[in-house]
Structure 1
Amino acid sequence: MKNIIFLFAFLFIIQSASAQLFTKEKILNDENVDKAFLSYGYFLGFNSYDFNFDYIYNEPDIQTKKSTGFNVGLVGNMRINSFLDLRLEPGLSITTRVLEYPESYFDGVEFTSSDLEREIKSTYIHVPLLLKVSTKRLNNFKPFIIGGVSTSLNLSSNQDNPDDNSAGKFRTTKNMYYYELGFGIDFYLFYFKFTPSIRGIFAINDELVRDEDINSPWTGNIDKMQTRGVFINFTFQ
């Protein structure tokens, strides 16, 4: 699924860019859209979340089985100058990850096949503050890079749940902090501006809520667990 999305986005960008570069189009669509001090829009997109682990002991890695999630949100853009914009993009991101544990984590402990997996469903209210650095507009498109910081509230964290993995409950923290970096292209269409972009997000803080038992096979060997992910968004302004 993710590879198909990447392929379609790439082909769309290449086709549109080539058409405008080689036909030397002179008619500019929506010439004044970037001149407003404040502008607004919305985005739809996809995500792929992962976990990065740091371990206490030298044991086999915990594997993360990823899936394709969904993003939706709003865009608020403040123009600084012709090349710089400050953007606020509050949105909702939904994803599911499954942790797969090696059997060696359960040495000396009775376990079943269900103990080797933990499903983590996450619903994030994600709020990034980003600086967009653009090139000069070329006919009806304009490439850019974008980066900044963000925070999210995980509505599915189970942080305050008194049950832990001994009762089948894997817990994560409610509040997360990230840095983000990505790139994209603004396409100026006749009625609106369309922007496909890809962005990586990297957590700064530890997301794991540890079990009561310090030797828990699920959390005892984890020194730090941090979210990382990829967003593919399609913005309309």
Structure 2
Amino acid sequence: MNHRFLTSLRLLSALMALIIGSHGDLSGQNLNDKLMNRPYADLRRWHLGFSVGIHTQDFTFTHNGFTSENGEQWFVEQPAFQPGFCVNGLIDYRLGTYFNLRFTPGMYFGNRDITMREYNSGAEHRQNLKSALIVLPFDLKFSGLRYRNSRPYITAGVMPTFNVTKQNNDYLRTKTSDFFLTCGFGCDFYLPYFKFNPEIKFCFGLGDNLLHDRPDIAEEPEKLIITQSLKKAVSRMVVLTFYFE
């Protein structure tokens, strides 16, 4: 993992710890006098919910050392993260005391600022790569024991995605579909009328998401050379989500 990705993980983890810690401080007041909220919520066979959140999208570029007839060598990077917005539905099916199967279809709206530099001349191009992703995550949720009105959990799953953004004849284009492995952690907080669950999820793309066949720019070698310089581009995401169940 590169430094920017690790920094993003630390920031989101710190935010999660702050949320959980703040709840702990509040719930610590008069604990002996406080009744458990929604004591039978976890016994339902299935239930519905929704979530809103923010996320960051990242690319890991692998270069192939391609050099043009003019001696140009181009290198591509994503120098910074841009926050995006996401919204999901939730269908939760209870498998047992500790396990739930969750399906959370939704939409992720985001963008990536891509910088392309020529090694010898220092020439530079920039591209803002926007995306509107239909996501279909399936997660297995493993929950710990409930302690009063909170219950920590971890998740693992898979997430197919489909990019419905119309892409122009620009330097780089992505494929319309991608596939991620996901893992995450969070905590269920039992409020009087619903459960509130902050969650952090890490998403790791499994394949090359770069579209290499570019007949749309075959007559523009100054653009085509950028794609020719890349062996692959693998997607990654970090997602901070707030569920209401």
**Could you state the TM-score of these two structures normalised by the residue count of structure 1?**
0.84
Among candidates 155, 161, 164, match of residue 155 of structure 1: 164
- Cα 1:14–1:105 shift into 2, 3 Å: farther
Name the count of aligned residue pairs: 223
Residue 185 of structure 1: SS of its match in structure 2? Answer: strand
1:213-237 deviation line (CA, Å, top 9, x unaligned): 5993311121111110100000000
In structure 1, give the amino acid aligned to 2:233: M
Q: Which moved more, 1:136-145 or 1:9-18?
A: 9-18
**Could you tell me how far apart the structure 2 residues matched to 1:34 and 1:128 are?**
21
- Which residue of structure 2 aligns with residue 193 of structure 1? 195
Cα distance change on mapping 1:67 and 1:105 into 2, 3 Å: farther
Cα distance in 1 between the residues matched to 2:166 and 2:63? 22
Question: Residues 105 and 190 from structure 1, CA distance in 2 versus in 1: closer, same or farther, beyond 3 angstroms?
Answer: farther
2:76 is aligned, of 32, 38, 62, to 62
Deviation at 1:102, TM superposition (A): 1.7
Give the 3-state SS of the residue equivalent to 1:208 in structure 2: coil
Answering whether residue 119 of structure 2 is matched by residue 119 of structure 1, we say no
| Structure 1: stretches of 5+ with no match in the other structure | none
The 1:144–1:101 alpha-carbon spacing in structure 2 relative to 1, beyond 3 Å, is: same
Who is 1:95 aligned against? Answer: 110
Equivalent-residue separation in structure 1 for 2:242 and 2:45 (angstroms): 22
CA deviation vs aligned residue, 1:133-160 (integer Å, no higher than 9, x gap): 11010110000000100101101163xx
CA contact (8 A) 1:106 1:217 kept: no
Residue identity opposite 1:75 in structure 2 = L
Distance 1:218-1:60 versus aligned 2 partners, 3 A rule: closer
1:73 aligns with 2:88: yes
CA contact (8 A) 2:74 2:226 kept: no
Partner of residue 173, structure 1: 175
Percent of aligned pairs with the same amino acid: 27
Q: TM-score, normalised by structure 2?
A: 0.82
Residue pair 2:99, 2:141 contacting (<8 A) in 1 also: yes
